[in-house]
C-alpha cells in the first residue's frame, strides 16, 4: 500500500487589514519536495479548502526554481473535513504567521492529531505550524505536548521580526504553559526536536531537517 503524508496549511491571509500573511513558502516547498522524492503520496489540506495563501515575504527571486512547482498545490487544497485521515502515516504543518489565527481551535485538526497520537503516527510541525498541535489531548485529557521536548518560532524571533504585538498569543509561552519542555536555540538556528513520535522545528531554516527527520522516523 502506498504510504501517505498529510500536509495541513492555513487559509488565513490578513492581520488587522494591514499585514498580509499565510504560509511561509520554504516551510511548505522544501518538505513537499523531500516527501515527493522519497516516494510518499502527499495530500495538502486546509480548514476551508481552496487557496492557502503564501506569505509574500517568503517569496524571493533567490528561492530555488524547483520550489515554484509546489506552489500550485497551495492554490486548491482539499477541505480538511473531507480527508480520510486514517490513511496517513504522518501529518506535517508548515508555519508562517497565518496558522496562529485559524489552526489552534480547529476541531477537525484536533481530532486528526489525537488519532495520530493514539496510533503512533508521526506528528510534525515547523515554526508557527506547531500551533496546530496545542489543542490535542491524550486519553487522560492532558496536552499531547506535556513533558515532550518541543520547539517553535521563539519569542526572540517574534520580537526580531516585529510581529509580537500582532499575535493572538506567543506560541513559546503557550507551549510552556501546556507543560512542554521548550528548547530554544539562537534565532534562525537550524533546530529540530524529536520527542517520541512528535517532531518540531524552530523556524524556516529548520524545514529541511524536520522533513528529513520525518522520513527517518517513518522508515
Q: What percent of the chain has pLDDT over 90?
A: 95
Q: Is the model's pLDDT at 190 over the cut of 80?
A: yes
pLDDT of residue 1: 57
What is the mean pLDDT of the segment spanning 148-177? 98
Mean pLDDT for the stretch of residues 146-154: 98
Domains in the chain with CATH codes = 4-218 (3.40.50.880)
pLDDT, tens digit, 9 for 90 and up, residues 2-44: 799 999 999 999 999 889 999 999 999 999 999 999 999 999 9
Task: Read off the pLDDT of residues 36-67 as tens digits, 9 standing for 90 and up.
Answer: 999 999 999 999 999 999 999 999 988 889 99
Residues 132-161: what's their mean pLDDT? Answer: 98
Distance of CA 143 to the CA centre of its chain: 17
Contact predicate 117/197, CB 8 Å: yes
Helix, strand, coil share (%) of the chain residues, nearest 5: 40, 20, 40
Provide the pLDDT for residue 2: 73
Please tell me the predicted confidence (pLDDT) of residue 67. Answer: 94
| Phi, psi of 46, deg, nearest 5 | -145, 165
Dist. CA 79–CA 93, nearest whole Å: 15
From start to end of 11-161, where are the E strands?
14-15, 19-20, 41-46, 78-79, 90-93, 122-126, 149-150
Quick check: 136 and 117 in contact, CB under 8 A? yes
C-alpha cell belonging to residue 15: 492581520
> Which pLDDT score is estimated for 63?
87
Residue 153: per-residue pLDDT: 98
Q: What is the mean pLDDT of residues 97-110?
A: 97
Predicted local confidence at residue 62, as pLDDT:
86
pTM: 0.97
Amino acid at each position: 500500500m502506498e504510504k501517505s503524508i498529510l500536509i495541513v496549511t492555513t487559509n488565513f491571509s490578513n492581520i488587522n487589514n494591514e499585514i498580509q500573511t499565510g504560509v511561509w513558502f520554504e516551510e511548505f516547498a522544501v518538505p513537499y519536495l523531500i516527501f515527493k522524492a522519497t516516494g510518499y503520496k502527499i495530500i495538502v489540506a486546509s480548514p476551508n479548502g481552496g487557496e492557502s495563501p503564501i506569505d509574500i515575504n517568503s517569496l524571493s527571486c533567490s528561492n530555488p526554481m524547483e520550489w515554484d512547482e509546489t506552489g500550485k498545490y497551495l492554490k486548491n487544497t482539499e477541505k480538511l473535513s473531507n480527508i480520510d485521515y486514517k490513511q496517513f502515516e504522518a501529518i506535517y504543518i508548515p508555519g508562517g504567521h497565518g496558522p496562529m489565527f485559524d489552526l489552534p481551535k480547529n476541531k477537525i485538526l484536533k481530532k486528526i492529531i489525537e488519532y495520530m497520537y493514539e496510533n503512533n503516527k508521526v506528528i510534525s510541525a515547523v515554526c508557527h505550524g506547531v500551533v496546530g498541535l496545542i489543542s490535542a489531548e491524550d486519553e487522560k485529557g492532558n496536552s499531547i505536548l506535556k513533558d515532550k521536548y518541543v520547539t517553535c518560532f521563539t519569542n526572540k524571533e517574534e520580537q526580531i521580526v516585529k510581529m509580537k504585538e500582532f499575535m493572538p498569543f506567543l506560541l513559546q509561552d503557550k507551549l510552556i504553559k501546556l507543560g512542554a519542555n521548550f528548547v530554544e536555540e539562537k534565532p534562525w538556528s537550524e533546530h529540530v526536536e524529536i520527542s517520541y513520535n512528535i517532531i518540531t522545528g524552530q523556524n524556516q531554516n529548520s524545514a529541511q531537517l524536520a522533513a528529513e527527520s520525518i522520513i527517518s522516523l517513518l522508515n
